[in-house]
């Protein structure tokens, strides 16, 4: 089995520096998670509603619950692409400066 690499200076510290996330990446990550969780909970609530009381579709709050995944999932996907773009540009900048 291969031994983990260590830095030449200090034997107690790993050779690779840990990946740090800035505040923007963390906020975007939590926003994405919250939007997707809310959308999937609304989808689950719609399934339960359709199985138990199918005639309740037109009464409140079901139109709002049905609209949340229609709006939330596309917004979540756009935020995923924004987060990927931020991460890729940050890593490219770090790789350019490390040379």
pLDDT in tens, 9-23: 665 655 565 556 688
Enumerate long-range contacts of 66-73, CB under 8 Å, 24 or more apart.
66/42, 68/38, 68/39, 68/42, 69/39, 69/40, 69/42, 69/43, 72/35, 72/36, 72/38, 72/39, 72/42, 73/35, 73/36, 73/39
Q: What is the tens place of the pLDDT at every residue in 43-77? A: 999 999 888 887 877 778 888 889 999 999 999 99
- For residue 29, with 0-12 CB atoms within 10 Å meaning exposed, 13-18 middle and 19 or more buried, which class applies? middle
pTM for the whole thing? 0.70
Query: Is the pLDDT at 7 greater than 60, yes or no?
Result: no
Rounding to the nearest 10 degrees, give the CA dihedral for residues 26, 30, 35, 40: 130
């Amino acid at each position: 089995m291969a031994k983990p690499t260590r830095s030449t200076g200090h034997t107690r510290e790993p050779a690779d520096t840990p990946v740090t996330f800035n505040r923007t990446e963390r906020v975007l990550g939590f926003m994405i998670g919250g939007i997707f969780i809310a959308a999937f909970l609304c989808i689950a609530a719609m399934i339960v509603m359709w199985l138990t009381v199918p005639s309740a579709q037109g009464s409140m709050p079901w139109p709002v619950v049905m609209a949340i995944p229609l709006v939330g999932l596309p917004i979540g996907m756009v935020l995923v692409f924004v987060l990927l773009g931020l991460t890729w540009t940050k890593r490219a900048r770090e790789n350019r400066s490390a040379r």
